[in-house]
Amino acid sequence: MSYYLKDPGARVDYAIDWAPYLDGQAILASEWTVAPAEAGGIEVAEASFAGARTAARLDGGAVGRCYRISNRITLADGSVDERSITLRVEER
């Protein structure tokens, strides 16, 4: 799991390059989740995937809070994988 800082007013893209883990498989679906889900917390404003890369545009967050952002993908053979990052929200 990776750790990053985010300003509460920033709307920033975060991406995962899945190429080293796909073993020739294609990504069919990608879902992003935020924990904890709370009022005023980080929200997924947009999400996309192309080729072996998934991305999410994240918005908001409460100062001093940490959030786990997870990306769960489904591959062409039906297998599922997940990666997470941790964001700490701080005024920057």
Residues 38-79 have pLDDT tens digits of 999 999 999 999 999 999 999 999 999 999 999 999 999 999
Tell me the percentage of the chain whose pLDDT exceeds 90: 93
Only one residue has tokens 């190429």, namely: 19
> Residue 71 burial (CB < 10 Å; 0-12/13-18/19+)?
buried
> Domain range holding 31?
2-89
CATH number at residue 67: 2.60.40.10
Count structural domains, the chain: 1
pLDDT score for 2: 77
Range 80-87 average pLDDT: 96
Helix (H) or strand (E) holding 77: none
Confirm if 30 and 14 have CB atoms less than 8 A apart.
Answer: no
